[in-house]
Amino acid sequence: MSTIQDNHTNKKDPDYTLEEVMELYHRPLLDLIYMAAQVHRAHHNPHEMQICTLLSVKTGGCIENCGYCPQSIHNEAELDKEILMKVDDVLEEARKAKEAGSTRFCMGAAWPRVLDGRAFDRVLEMIKGVTDMGMEACVTLGMLTKEQAKRLKAAGLHTYNHNLDTSREFYDKVVTTRTYDDRLDTIKNLAEAGINVCSGGILGLGESQNDRISFLHTLSQLNPQPESVPINMLVPIKGTPMEDNEPLDIFEWIRAIAVARILMPKAMVRLSAGRLAISKEAQAMAFMAGANSIFSGEKLLTTPNSGEAFDEALLKALDMTPRKPFKEEHHHVCQSVCTCKGQKRK
Which of 53, 59, 72, 140 is close enough to bind ligand SAM by CB under 6 A? 140
Question: Judged by CB under 6 A, which stretch of 26-34, 58-66, 118-126, 337-345 contacts ligand SF4?
Answer: 58-66
Which of 69, 130, 216, 271 is close enough to bind ligand SAM by CB under 6 A? 69
Q: How far is the CB of 84 from ligand SF4 (least distance, A)?
A: 14
Is residue 334 among the annotated active site residues? Answer: no
Q: Is 229 helix (H, G, I), strand (E, B) or coil?
A: strand
Supply angle C-alpha 230, 197, 116, rounded to 5: 115
Of the two residues 37 and 114, which places its CB atom closer to ligand SF4 in the complex? 114
Q: Is 64 helix (H, G, I), strand (E, B) or coil?
A: coil
Which of 27, 162, 217, 261 is close enough to bind ligand SAM by CB under 6 A? 162
Binding of residue 110 to ligand SAM (CB under 6 A): yes
CA 234 to chain CA mean position, Å: 14
Binding of residue 233 to ligand DTB (CB under 6 A): no
Catalytic residue chosen out of the listed positions 62, 104, 151, 323: 62
Residues 176 to 205 in contact with ligand DTB, rule: CB under 6 A: 200
Residue 173 burial by CB count (10 A; 0-12/13-18/19+): exposed, middle or buried? middle
Tell me how far apart the alpha carbons of residues 130 and 145 are, in angstroms, rounded to a whole number: 23
Which of 87, 191, 235, 263 is close enough to bind ligand SAM by CB under 6 A? 235
Catalytic residue chosen out of the listed positions 27, 52, 69, 104: 69
Question: Judged by CB under 6 A, which stretch of 38-46, 83-91, 105-113, 209-217 contacts ligand SAM?
Answer: 105-113
Question: Judged by CB under 6 A, which stretch of 12-20, 104-112, 218-226, 277-285 contacts ligand SAM?
Answer: 104-112
DSSP 65-99: --TT-TTBTTS------BPPPPHHHHHHHHHHHHH
Binding of residue 241 to ligand SAM (CB under 6 A): no
Tell me how far apart the alpha carbons of residues 291 and 283 are, in angstroms, rounded to a whole number: 9
Q: Is 141 helix (H, G, I), strand (E, B) or coil?
A: coil
**DSSP H/E element including 190:** helix 180-192
Residue 7 burial by CB count (10 A; 0-12/13-18/19+): exposed, middle or buried? exposed
Is residue 41 among the annotated active site residues? Answer: no
Residue 332 burial by CB count (10 A; 0-12/13-18/19+): exposed, middle or buried? exposed
Binding of residue 202 to ligand SAM (CB under 6 A): yes
Q: How far is the CB of 107 from ligand DTB (least distance, A)?
A: 9
Backbone torsions φ then ψ of 229, nearest 5 degrees: -130, 95
Can you give the binding site for ligand DTB, defined by CB under 6 A? 54, 70, 106, 108, 140, 161, 163, 200, 230, 232, 235, 272-273, 300-303
Can you give the binding site for ligand SAM, defined by CB under 6 A? 68-69, 108, 110-111, 140, 142, 162-163, 165, 201-202, 232, 234-235, 237, 273-274, 301
Which residues are annotated as catalytic?
Answer: 62, 66, 69, 106, 138, 198, 270
